[in-house]
C-alpha cells in the first residue's frame, strides 16, 4: 500500500484526520470540572444508551468535551432523512435529480444536524442537573456557551469525516466512529483488570467476544446471489443482433446493518432517560420515576433483566424487518431490471419478479433479524455466564467496528487491484 504514492497519501491523510479527532476529544467544554466528569463517568456506567454513545465518541461524552456529541446528531439526521425521502413527495423528487439532488439532500441533512446537536447537548445538561452531578446554578450565558461549543464540535467532526471521504480512504463518518470505538477499547479492558475480575470468567468473556466477532464477519459478508440474465438487441450494418449476458443481484443477509440496534436501544432507554429528569436524588425517598428507571435498567437482577432484554430482542427483530423493507423499496430492483432488459431465469418480469424478490428478501431478513437479536443479547448472556461486569462488551460497537474495517479493507483492495492487478493476497 505504501509503495504507491497516491494511496500512501490517502492513508496518511486519513490517519492525520483521526489524530485531529482524538485531540479534539480532549478539549474540555466550559463545564468540564473534575467533579462533574467523575459524576458523569459513574452515571454512564449504569446507563446503556449513554455508555454506547460514549463509546461512539471515544470517551468524549463522559469527559464532557466539546466533541461530546460526536457525529451521532448527524447520524440521527441521516436516518430521519432516509425515512422522510420515501414519504414526502418533494424530497423524493429531489432525490431523483441525480448528483445535484443528492447534494441538496446532503445540505438539508447538514442543516438538520445543527438543531439536533443543540437539543441533545441541552438535554444532556438537563440530565446532569436533574441527577445532581452539576450542583451550581447555571447562568443562561454559560448554558449557551456550552451548547454552542458542543454543536461546533459536532459540525467540525462531520467536516473531518467528509474530508476523509473526499481525500482519504473509506467512509469518513464511519471512520470517525471507528476511531472512537477503538480509542475506548484500552480503557474498557483496563477497567476489567483493575476490578480484579475472576481470570477464568474473564477468559470466557473474551472467548464469547471472539465468537461474536466471527459471527458478525460471517453475517456481514453473507449474501444470496440472485442470477440475472440480460438480452439486448443491437442494430449494426443493416442487421439486428441479439446479445446476452449474465450477472447476479447480491442480496445481503444483514441489509439493515447496525441501525435496528441503535433504534431498539434508543426506544428501550427512552423511559429511563425521561425518568432521570423527575426521579428523586440519591439519599431521598424513591418516587414513581425511580421505579420506572429501575424497570428499564439493563443491569438488574435476573427477573427484571429478562423483562428488559426480551422486549429489546423483539424490538431489534422488528426494526430489522422495518428498515430492510424501507431500503429494499428504495432500491426499486424490479423496475431497474425491466428498464435494463434483465430478467431472473424462470421468473416472468413485472409483478412476478417483484413478488419473487420480496419473498427472497423476507426469508433472508429472518436470518439477519435473528442474528442481530442474538448479537444484541450477547452483553446480557456474557455478563450472566461469566459475572464480568467491569468490561462492557458493546455488540453494537463491535458490529460497527467490524463493518467499517471490512469496508475499508475492500476499498484498499480495489485500489491495489486497479493499479497492480493484485490485492493483499497475491
pLDDT for 239? 60
For 88, residues 6+ apart whose C-beta sits below 8 A from its C-beta are none
Q: How far apart are CA 407 and CA 217, in angstroms?
A: 11
The half-sphere exposure of 364 on its side-chain side, counting CA atoms within 13 A, is 23
* Residue-wise pLDDT tens digits, 81-135: 877 887 888 888 888 787 888 888 889 999 999 999 998 888 888 878 777 787 7
Sign of CA dihedral 316, 317, 322, 328: positive
Dihedral sign for Cα atoms in the order 177, 259, 41, 386: negative
Cα angle value 313/384/312 (rounded, 5°): 15
Measure the CA–CA gap between 299 and 46, rounded to whole angstroms: 7
- The Cα–Cα gap between 46 and 44 comes to 5
Per-residue 3-state assignment (H helix, E strand, C coil) for 320-368 = HHHHHHHHHHHHCHHHHHHHCCEECCCCCCCHHHHHHHHHHHHHHHHHH
> Is the confidence at residue 33, as pLDDT, over 90?
no
Q: Which residue has the cell 420515501?
A: 86
Question: What is residue 238's predicted lDDT score, i.e. its pLDDT?
Answer: 57
Percent above pLDDT 70 for the chain = 80
What is the mean predicted confidence (pLDDT) over 185-207? 68
Query: Is the Cα torsion angle 397, 159, 44, 311 positive or negative in sign?
Result: negative
**What pLDDT, on a 0 to 100 scale, did the predictor assign at position 327?**
80
Task: Assess contact for 146 and 30: CB atoms under 8 A.
Answer: yes
Whether 240 and 259 have beta carbons less than 8 Å apart is answered as no
Q: What is the mean pLDDT of the chain?
A: 78
CA angle, 35 as apex, 30 and 40 as ends, to 5°? 80
Q: Is the pLDDT of residue 390 over 50?
A: no
pLDDT at 387: 62
pTM, two decimal places: 0.75
- Residue 350's φ and ψ, nearest 5 degrees, are 95, -130
Comparing 418 with 302, which gets the higher pLDDT? 418
Share of the chain above pLDDT 90, in %: 10
Give 235-247 pLDDT, tens digit per residue: 555 565 555 567 8
Compute the average pLDDT of residues 219-241. 70
CATH for 196-389?
1.10.3370.10
Report the residue count for the chain: 426
When pLDDT is averaged across residues 280-292 and rounded to a whole number, the result is 68
Same fold, 1-193 and 196-389: yes
The confidence score (pLDDT) of residue 354 equals 84
pLDDT digits (tens, 9 = 90+) for 46-85: 666 676 677 777 778 888 889 888 888 888 888 788 778 8
Neighbours of 199 (CB within 10 A): 9
Band (pLDDT 50/70/90 cuts) for residue 198 is low
| Domains of the chain, residue spans | 1-193, 196-389
DSSP state of 66: T
Beta strand 239-252 with 223-236: parallel, antiparallel or unpaired?
Answer: antiparallel
Out of 2.40.10.480, 1.10.260.40, 1.20.120.1200, 1.10.3370.10, select the CATH number for domain 1-193: 1.10.3370.10
- Lowest-confidence region among 18-22, 34-38, 197-201, 210-214: 197-201
Amino acid at each position: 500500500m505504501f509503495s504507491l504514492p497516491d494511496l500512501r497519501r490517502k492513508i496518511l491523510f486519513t490517519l492525520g484526520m483521526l489524530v485531529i479527532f482524538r485531540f479534539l476529544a480532549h478539549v474540555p467544554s466550559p463545564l468540564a470540572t473534575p467533579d462533574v466528569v467523575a459524576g458523569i463517568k459513574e452515571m454512564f456506567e449504569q446507563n446503556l444508551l449513554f455508555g454506547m454513545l460514549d463509546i461512539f465518541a471515544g470517551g468524549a461524552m463522559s469527559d464532557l468535551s466539546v466533541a461530546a456529541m460526536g457525529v451521532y446528531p448527524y447520524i440521527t439526521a441521516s436516518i430521519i432523512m432516509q425515512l422522510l425521502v420515501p414519504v414526502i413527495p418533494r424530497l423524493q423528487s429531489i432525490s431523483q435529480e441525480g448528483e445535484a439532488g443528492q447534494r441538496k439532500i446532503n445540505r438539508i441533512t447538514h442543516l438538520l444536524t445543527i438543531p439536533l446537536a443543540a437539543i441533545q447537548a441541552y438535554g444532556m445538561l438537563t440530565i446532569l442537573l436533574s441527577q445532581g452531578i452539576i450542583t451550581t446554578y447555571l447562568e443562561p450565558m454559560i448554558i449557551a456557551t456550552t451548547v454552542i461549543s458542543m454543536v461546533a464540535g459536532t459540525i467540525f467532526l462531520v467536516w473531518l469525516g467528509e474530508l476523509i471521504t473526499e481525500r482519504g480512504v473509506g467512509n469518513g463518518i464511519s471512520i470517525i466512529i471507528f476511531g472512537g470505538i477503538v480509542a475506548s477499547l484500552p480503557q474498557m479492558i483496563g477497567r476489567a483488570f483493575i476490578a480484579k475480575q475472576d481470570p477464568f470468567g474473564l477468559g470466557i468473556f473474551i472467548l464469547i467476544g471472539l465468537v461474536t466477532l466471527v459471527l458478525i464477519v460471517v453475517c456481514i459478508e453473507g449474501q444470496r446471489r440472485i442470477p440475472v440474465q440480460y438480452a439486448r438487441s443491437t442494430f449494426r450494418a443493416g442487421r439486428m443482433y441479439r446479445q446476452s449476458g449474465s450477472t447476479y443481484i447480491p442480496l445481503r443477509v444483514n441489509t439493515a446493518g447496525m441501525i435496528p440496534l441503535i433504534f431498539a436501544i434508543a426506544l428501550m432507554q427512552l423511559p429511563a432517560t425521561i425518568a432521570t429528569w423527575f426521579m428523586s436524588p440519591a439519599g431521598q425517598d424513591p418516587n414513581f420515576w425511580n421505579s420506572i428507571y429501575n424497570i428499564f435498567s439493563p443491569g438488574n437482577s435476573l427477573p427484571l433483566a429478562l423483562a428488559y432484554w426480551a422486549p429489546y430482542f423483539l424490538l431489534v427483530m422488528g426494526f430489522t424487518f422495518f428498515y430492510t423493507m424501507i431500503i429494499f423499496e428504495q432500491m426499486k430492483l424490479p423496475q431497474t431490471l425491466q428498464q435494463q432488459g434483465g430478467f431472473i431465469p424462470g421468473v416472468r418480469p413485472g409483478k412476478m419478479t417483484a413478488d419473487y424478490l420480496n419473498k427472497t428478501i423476507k426469508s433472508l431478513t429472518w436470518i439477519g433479524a435473528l442474528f442481530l437479536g442474538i448479537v444484541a443479547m450477547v452483553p446480557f448472556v456474557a455478563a450472566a455466564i461469566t459475572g464480568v461486569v467491569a468490561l462492557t462488551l458493546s455488540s453494537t460497537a463491535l458490529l460497527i467496528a467490524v463493518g467499517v474495517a471490512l469496508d475499508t479493507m475492500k476499498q484498499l483492495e480495489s485500489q491495489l487491484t486497479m493499479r497492480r492487478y493484485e490485492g493483499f493476497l497475491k
